[in-house]
Amino acid sequence: MQLRKATAASAAVLALALTATACGSDKEDGGSGDGKKITIGIKIDQPGIGLKTPDGKYTGFDVDVATYVAKELGYKAEDIVFKETKSADRETAIERGDVKFIAASYSINDERLQKVDFAGPYLLAHQDILVRADDDSIKSPADLNNKKLCSVAGSTSAKNVKDKLAPKAQLQTYGGYSECLTGLENKAIDALTTDDSILAGYASQQNFQGKFKLAGFKMTNENYGIGLKKGDADLKKKVDAALTKMVSDGSWDKAVKDNFGPANYKNEPAPKIGNIVK
């Protein structure tokens, strides 16, 4: 009698375990749209690019692109899990499988292509500078000589200016872009440099609108791509198709206007898939 009871109890536990496994809706699938999740790496601290707002929402151009691509892969909006992916962690996150793909101001370059694959590009950005709206003293990169140029800790943008374009620029290191903007507004610094898309996103914030302007120097070409696991040709093909559709149906233009419009960002036309501008 005791043996029969134990056997019945074991069977019940096994049945429950099998049921839980079959109904595991938190696992990723191949895009069947049946309620399973897809985890996407983004930035959460870059207004206009990827930002997590105080109420828990995600906004920005990269977020719009990622959401569009996920839907084309068969996922509903509620099935998307956004995961913060810092610049230094992007390749590792893809290699470990922490995310399905990454859309996080992720420039395609030869070094990164050794570790991951890219779909796209979906945006051609350029290194630029942001100055006060009433400052007409900086008309070329050379004019940054003897100017106070903001450098965010860990950024290579300001170093690029100092090494190649304006060796006498006075680098001022700040903890983040928001601090640089405050310093620019208060005239503690003269210019802030990084990708023009990122600068446009910050300048588009309501509290900064009309206070700053992009110089339009186009000092480098930054081809933003969607990072994928190395060798996943099938996913790359699907993401490229989604990006192509986003451009053709007008969603790409709308996302640019929605996220960068207030800064009068003069964006490049949508790049053709596979066209890496050197």
Domains 38-125+223-263 and 126-214 share a fold: yes
Tokens of 134: 């009433």
Q: How many CB atoms sit inside 10 A of residue 98's CB?
A: 14
CA–CA separation, 72 and 263 (whole Å): 30
pLDDT at 5: 43
CA–CA separation, 251 and 259 (whole Å): 12
Q: How many CB atoms sit inside 10 A of residue 157's CB?
A: 22
Contact between 81 and 37 under an 8 Å Cβ cutoff? The reply is: yes
Q: How many CB atoms sit inside 10 A of residue 135's CB?
A: 15
pLDDT at 35: 59
Q: How many CB atoms sit inside 10 A of residue 140's CB?
A: 10
List the chain pLDDT tens, one digit each, 278 residues.
444 444 444 444 444 444 444 443 445 544 444 559 999 999 998 999 999 999 999 999 999 999 999 999 999 999 999 999 988 899 999 999 999 999 999 999 999 999 999 999 999 999 999 999 999 999 999 999 999 999 887 677 888 898 999 999 999 988 888 889 999 999 999 999 999 999 999 888 888 888 999 999 999 999 999 999 999 999 999 999 999 999 999 999 999 999 987 777 888 999 999 999 88
CA–CA separation, 6 and 15 (whole Å): 14
In a 13 Å sphere around the CA of 263, the CA atoms on its Cβ side amount to 30
* Residue 55 DSSP class: T
What architecture is the 126-214 domain classified under in CATH? 3-Layer(aba) Sandwich (3.40)
pLDDT at 270: 95
| Short-list 196, 194, 152, 195, CA closest to 173 | 152
CATH superfamily membership of 38-125+223-263? Periplasmic binding protein-like II (3.40.190.10)
Most distant pair of Cα atoms in the chain: their distance: 93
pLDDT at 17: 42
Q: Which residues contact 122 (CB under 8 A, 6 or more apart)?
A: 65, 103, 224, 225, 226, 243, 246, 252, 270, 271
Helix (H, G, I), strand (E, B) or coil at 257: helix
| Short-list 98, 131, 105, CA closest to 43 | 105
> According to DSSP H, which parts of the chain are helical?
2-22, 61-72, 90-96, 110-113, 157-160, 177-185, 196-203, 233-248, 251-260
In a 13 Å sphere around the CA of 1, the CA atoms on its Cβ side amount to 0
In the chain, what are the domain boundaries? 38-125+223-263, 126-214
pLDDT at 7: 45
Q: How many CB atoms sit inside 10 A of residue 81's CB?
A: 15
Q: Which residues contact 186 (CB under 8 A, 6 or more apart)?
A: none
CA–CA separation, 189 and 149 (whole Å): 6
